Structure 1
Amino acid sequence: MLHLRYFVAVAEELNFSRAARRLHMATSPLSQRIKDLERELGQVLFERTTHRVELTPAGTALLPMAREVLDSVNSIPWRLSEAVRRCRTTELIGIPAGVHPDLRERVRLLEEDCDEVFELRRWPGTSADLVTGVRDGRLALALARLPVADPALEVIQVMRERLGAAVPADRFADRTSITLDDLKDLSYTATPYDALPAYFEEIDARLNHAGVKKRIRIKAADFSGAAEVISTGIAFSMTMLSEKSPMHRYRLDNVVVLPVEDFEPSLVTGLLFRRDRAADGADLAGLVSRARAIFADPMSA
């Protein structure tokens, strides 16, 4: 089963490094596991070159079979739960760090609305972990930072938050906005990628293309580490622009968040759930129906 999970990750990413990050493992053992699977099946599954990875005909044929097997195994926990569940079941909804209070309010409304049938409890985690939790059946629903590409999951966009640059306040005193040119002398710093959605890799690439070349990597698991470096006057980071965002709790005295005139990225949050669990007659059909109604109108901040 693990070898099939490894194969699907590489097949979907077509990049061993990205697949390894997704699986929370090193690239070398992942490559060895794929070789083990190829040896066991007697088929070459990937064509590997220095610059690209492609599925062979055998790999292309295996992918839907592997997904079907994994989906069947992943469904065992919730199918078993369905078989023995009480009239009022406890279900988990995943919540990533820094969720906007307006989204939290909608989660609260959902908890109230479904209280007679479901006891909905919140479960924290990174977006990647929450996506895995929904796919594996441990979580009924999750809010997660997009993009999320998984054919087994349905994703509803629920909020778009504009990002700004967290910069040293003394350096940009009396400024209400800045430009990318203003950032070229500062180092871009972000929390580790395993704590961030993949979208932040695109932001990093866009900043690099615009001439913002300096980087500082820190080990803090949240924005607090970045705030410390920014307050010294040598760095900047990208974070939610809205004053209501919980991310602003990490701001220090010499840190201010300003819009970037020629760069307007936004972080999108989605509500996701398994399609098969939300189908008519499935265990989460009622919960998902209520969630669709409460999260029907996407928000922005």
Structure 2
Amino acid sequence: MEMLHLRYFVAVAEELNFSAAARKLHMAASPLSQRIKDLEHELGQQLFDRSTHHVTLTDAGAALLPLARDVLERVSAIPWKLKEATRPQRSTVFLGMPAGVHPALRERVNALAERVKDRYELKRWPGTTADLVQGVHDGKLALTLARLPVADSALEQLPVMTERLGAVVPADRFAGRDAVSLAELVDLPYVAGPEEIVPAYFEQLDHQLGELGIKKRIRLTNTGYAGTSEVISSGEAFSISMLDPKSPMHGYGLENVIVLPFTDFRPQLDTGLLWRRDRAEAGDLRELVEAAKDLFGEHLTA
């Protein structure tokens, strides 16, 4: 049995959807399905009940899941445990930073770096929430700020900030306005951010908008947040982003783009601080995590 087979099994068990698990693993669904069949053949047990629309764990699959998670977490802990055994007195660690982190959170990151400087050299590392969370899980990052929700049983999560979201709209179309309703946006397509960079919350938001009557979509790829702003600036669409003018996300704005609060909708984005539970409880990050929990303990709103 190969470690990859267990990783594939856990991904499918957590998603209960082969296509979603394949995207998470950056592979195609067909070879993933074959690897699961190989594992079932090797174990002599069916792990999933499959139908056209549903995937569920069998009793054998449910029994295997905690065992597989334990094995994978022990293996992924090897690099940091080895570093802990051979580390110098002061170690360099990395804290993940997704795009658009609010200045108030950056202040807390700087305060954390100052507080722990005698024990750790804390450096920031950029990335998407998905990549940063995986980096913490794999032991490459000590901590990360991440857009919630995040599903990873090996990680501890501390919600640290809630940011209200508003409608990003063409300024000329809504000149003089201080708010907008969803009903006024139904004839404009909603431009979803590139799938490879947007947090999981925005997938939920996209679905919610559809249920509330926003049916038209523009989907961009490989353009970044600037591409979204470009489409809105031309008057062809609207999007949703941080409402607080202090948010760095406003730096992606172009001429003819404004952000307005909704009158009949109140979306919000939560940010959390995440770390591996085992590294905090009895590992190399206990002092760092204790300091982080103290500094980030008061929940912020914007």
TM-score bucket (shorter structure): over 0.9
5 Å matches for 1:73-222?
73-222=75-224
Say if 2:195 and 2:221, in contact at 8 Å, map to a contact too. Answer: no
Deviates more, 1:84-93 or 1:12-21: 12-21
What does the per-residue CA deviation read over 1:223-254, in whole Å, with 9 as the maximum and x for residues that have no partner? 10011100111100111111011110111111
Q: Report the 3-state secondary structure (helix = DSSP H, G, I; strand = E; otherwise coil) of the residue aligned with 1:177.
A: coil
Q: How much has 1:282 moved relative to structure 2? A: 2.0
Cα distance in 2, alignment partners of residues 15 and 292 from structure 1: 35
**How far apart are 1:40 and its partner, in Å?**
2.0
| 8 Å Cα contact 2:168/2:238 also seen in 1 | yes
* Equivalent pair of 1:190/1:223 in contact (CA under 8 Å): no
What amino acid is aligned across from residue 147 of structure 1 in structure 2?
P
Residue 222 of structure 1 and its aligned partner are, at CA, apart by 2.1
Once the two structures are overlaid, the 10-residue window that deviates more, 159-168 or 217-226, is: 217-226
Give identity over the alignment, percent: 63
Residue by residue, what CA displacement relative to the aligned partner does 1:247-281 show, whole Å, maximum 9, x if unpaired?
A: 101111111001111111111000000111111x4
Residue 2 of structure 1 and its aligned partner are, at CA, apart by 1.2
Q: What SS class does the counterpart of residue 158 from structure 1 fall into? A: strand
Number of residue pairs matched by the alignment: 300
- Give the superposed CA RMSD: 1.0
Give the AA of the match of 1:74. Answer: S
Q: C-alpha distance in 1, partners of 2:298/2:31?
A: 44
- One-letter code aligned to 1:198: A
Q: Give the conservation status (yes or no) of the 8 Å contact 1:184–1:212.
A: yes
Query: What residue is the counterpart of 1:55 in the other structure?
Result: 57
Distance 1:104 1:175, change over 3 A: same
Q: Which residue of 2 aligns with 1:69?
A: 71
| 1:31 shift after superposition | 1.5
Give runs of ≥4 in structure 1 deviating > 3 Å. Answer: none
Cα shift readout 1:105-139 (whole Å, capped 9, x = no counterpart): 10000001000000011111110111111111111
TM, length-normalised to structure 1:
0.97
SS at match of 1:25: coil
Contact 2:81 2:283 in 1 (8 A): no
Distance 2:280 2:295 in 1: 16
What amino acid does structure 1 have at the position aligned with 2:242? M
Separation in 2 of the partners of 1:105 and 1:45? 47
Q: How does 1:219-258 map to 2 (within 5 A)?
A: 219-258=221-260
Could you tell me whether the CA contact under 8 Å between 1:169 and 1:255 is conserved in 2?
Answer: yes
AA in 2 matched with 1:157: P
Which runs of 5 or more residues in structure 1 are unaligned? none
The alpha carbon displacement at 1:30 in A equals 1.7
* Residue 294 of structure 2: aligned partner: 293
Question: Structure 1 residues 159 and 221 mapped into 2: Cα distance closer, same or farther (>3 Å)?
Answer: farther
Contact 2:169 2:260 (8 Å CA) reproduced: yes
On the 8 A contact 1:21/1:194 being kept in 2, the answer is: no
Query: Secondary structure of 2:238's match?
Result: strand
Structure 2: which 5+ residue stretches go unaligned?
none
